[in-house]
């Protein structure tokens, strides 16, 4: 019985990924182009999210800095996850609350021309929304990874990449797959003269 349930979950996951190809390929290419344009001018990519999305932001930032395709050596790319500084996160949340933990870092570390990638399966995470608002106030472009509705992030992003699902685990699976595809595309674009 349990193997049937596992099979159903995996089939559903594959269906969402197949839908994602037609819905998200164009905005994902636009995201890669936006990141490349920023990096070519000395900009950086900042990423944020909560829970699994925090893990995704760390994972993707690490791939940008390290390398995704080891067959094509390249310099490290400037990316940082705003979810990793536990001293800052706990101090700020303790003193002021959790809603602005990412926005404060955007204000402190962001520069005009940078890019913020906000990851929220619902599109309504208050601290990710606050980071997007802070980015807009500081002339930083915002890419949003969300589920199918886009949530409030649709109103605060320059580019919305909305996974065609409302099921959190499948949205998160697609976010990391799209993130890898974008990094691979960025690596290719930056290697071109």
Answer for the pair 13, 170: CB distance below 8 angstroms, yes or no: yes
Answer for the pair 60, 183: CB distance below 8 angstroms, yes or no: yes
Q: What are the tens digits of pLDDT across the range 44-87?
A: 999 999 999 999 999 999 999 999 988 888 999 999 999 999 99
40 φ, ψ (degrees, to nearest 5): -65, -25
Contact residues for 99 (Cβ-Cβ < 8 A; gap 6+): 126, 127, 130
pLDDT in the model for residue 157? 97
Answer for the pair 123, 150: CB distance below 8 angstroms, yes or no: yes
Measured CA to CA, the distance from residue 101 to residue 123 in angstroms comes to 17
Contact residues for 20 (Cβ-Cβ < 8 A; gap 6+): 163, 164, 174, 177, 178
**Domain-by-domain residue ranges, the chain?**
32-188
Per-residue tokens: 105: 């870092």
- Does residue 182 surpass a pLDDT of 70? yes
Task: Confirm whether pTM is higher than 0.85.
Answer: yes
Measured CA to CA, the distance from residue 147 to residue 19 in angstroms comes to 13
Measured CA to CA, the distance from residue 20 to residue 103 in angstroms comes to 29
CATH of domain 32-188: 3.40.50.10490
Number of residues in the chain: 193
Please give the sequence-ordered ranges of beta strands (E in DSSP) within the chain, or none if there are none: 45-48, 79-81, 115-119, 141-146, 159-162
- Does residue 4 surpass a pLDDT of 80? no
């Amino acid at each position: 019985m349990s193997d049937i349930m596992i099979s159903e979950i995996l089939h559903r996951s594959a269906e969402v990924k197949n839908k994602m190809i037609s819905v998200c390929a164009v905005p994902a290419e636009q995201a890669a182009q936006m990141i490349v344009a920023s990096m070519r001018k000395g900009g950086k990519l900042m990423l944020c999210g909560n829970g699994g999305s925090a893990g995704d932001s760390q994972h993707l930032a690490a791939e940008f800095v390290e390398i995704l395709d080891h067959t094509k050596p390249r310099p490290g790319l400037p990316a940082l996850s705003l979810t990793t500084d536990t001293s800052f996160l706990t101090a700020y949340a303790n003193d002021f609350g959790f809603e602005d933990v990412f926005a404060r870092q955007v204000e402190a570390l962001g520069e005009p021309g940078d890019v913020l990638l906000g990851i929220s399966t619902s599109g309504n995470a208050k601290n990710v929304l606050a980071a997007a608002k802070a980015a807009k106030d500081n002339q930083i472009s915002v890419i949003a990874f969300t589920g199918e509705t886009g949530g409030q992030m649709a109103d605060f992003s320059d580019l919305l990449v909305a996974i065609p699902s409302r099921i959190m685990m499948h949205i998160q699976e697609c976010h990391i797959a799209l993130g890898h595809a974008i990094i691979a595309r960025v690596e290719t674009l930056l290697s071109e003269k």
